[in-house]
Structure 1
Amino acid sequence: MRRLAAPLVALACLLALAGCSSLSGTGDKGYITGEGVPTEVAIGDRDEPVELTGTDLEGNEVDLADLRGTPVVVNLWWSQCPPCRVEQPDLNEAAAELGDRVSFVGINIRDSSVEAARSYVRGFDVPYPSIYSADGSAILPFAGTLTPRSIPSTVVLDADGRVAASVQGRVPTTTTLLDLVEAVLDE
């Protein structure tokens, strides 16, 4: 019995550590986390502008068409998503650094109430509006770019509203997002 004790304890420790890693996937939570690798889309390969309207957490209408003329960063999030919580300070920092040269819009999915989403926004001092879409329908216009179950995800739209870059999973750093947006601003 003592011969088996040490290997069983080691196996239990490995399993526990695997459950606390930043690796992709969340088991039975109903969503997956991408690798956080940026993908850029060449100007000539971009599809039609993304058409999306929705209601933000305060009940105001948000229409991506109204934001055309400057790039827009769209971030898909959920208040109970650990990688979303890790990346939010980077998003806030990027939004502050880019100022009015770029618009930011969040899309909250999966929260069962607007109040849960508002609590996240207050807690992280999110400086931009988020569309509330508990059923996830707000991400349908991003089909082919976003995996519906990949939370968080971020998309950079060019000034014409077309997908110019995306990150499935947590944005690795503020600098990564700034570089993606600056490339679009320089076009």
Structure 2
Amino acid sequence: MFSLSSRRHARARAVAAVSLLLLAAPVLAGCTASDSLAQQARAGDGKNYIAGDGSVQEYTAGNRGNPVSFSSKLFNGETVDAASFRGKVTVLNFWYAGCPPCRAEAKDLESLYQQFKPTGTQFYGVNVRDDAPTAAAFERTFGTTYPSFEDRNGTVLLAMAQYVPPQSVPTTIVLDKQGRVSARILGRLDKGTLKSLIQSAQQS
């Protein structure tokens, strides 16, 4: 068990990391035509793109902590409470449209969503940057059919910092049937790896 002091220090470090990520998002996405990162994002080549390295962390059932807790709105206006995740494996993918690895992994995420949907597994995007039209354009382009949270204010991002901070975009988090963090992938995911992590969470 972690002491109260340890948990407070861990939360403080996590919130600081997430705050830096929120501040960095506009820089990474780019906002002017003269910004080389913006040009790279539009080109989709990913040069000098700052993101996670695809590292995977899986947590044993005894080390998953408490069920996650937050309530936030999807782009369609529906409010979703994390308490509704209980009884189902849930996948949260943090993304935004100007993120090259987010585009690269989009079709794999949709494919896995369709594969696991009959088992009751839920997928939610968590968009940390875009307005509704921009997010919708991305979803049309890549055929994404699962819903996304509109998280420009950081509600979901900061809530997750209490459990396992995303730290980069994209980040994918798998929750077990009790709503606890089962695994995290920092950066572009590998389809086979995420499939295995979902199956592991289903069995635990």
Maintained 8 Å contact 1:76/1:106: yes
Residue by residue over 1:90-113, the C-alpha shift from the partner in whole angstroms, topping out at 9 and shown as x without a partner, is: 1011111112321001100112x2
Question: Match for residue 121 of structure 1?
Answer: 139
Amino acid at match of 1:126: T
Q: Which moved more, 1:134-143 or 1:152-161?
A: 134-143
Residue 39 of structure 1 corresponds to: 57
Q: Corresponding residue for 1:160?
A: 178
SS across alignment from 1:73: strand
Contact 1:56 1:130 in 2 (8 A): yes
Q: Which moved more, 1:76-85 or 1:48-57?
A: 48-57
| Correspondence list, 1:12-31, <5 A | 26=49
Q: Secondary structure at the match of 2:201?
A: helix
Deviation for aligned residue 1:22? 5.9
| Counterpart among 165, 171, 175 of residue 189 in structure 2 | 171
Q: How big is the shift at 1:51?
A: 0.9
Amino acid at match of 2:158: L
Matches within 5 A, 1:4-153: 26=49, 32-101=50-119, 102-111=121-130, 113-143=131-161, 145-148=164-167, 150-153=168-171
Secondary structure of 1:70's counterpart equals coil
Are 1:182 and 2:199 an aligned pair?
Answer: yes
- List alignment gaps of at least 5 residues for structure 2: 1-43
SS at 2:57 equivalent: strand
| TM-score (normalizing by structure 1) | 0.79
Q: CA RMSD in A?
A: 1.7
1:67 CA drift (Å): 2.2
Structure 1 regions of 5+ residues with no counterpart? 1-19, 27-31
Q: Percentage identity across aligned positions? A: 34
What TM-score do you get using the length of structure 2 for normalisation?
Answer: 0.73
- 2:21 is matched with none
Q: Which has the larger radius of gyration?
A: 1
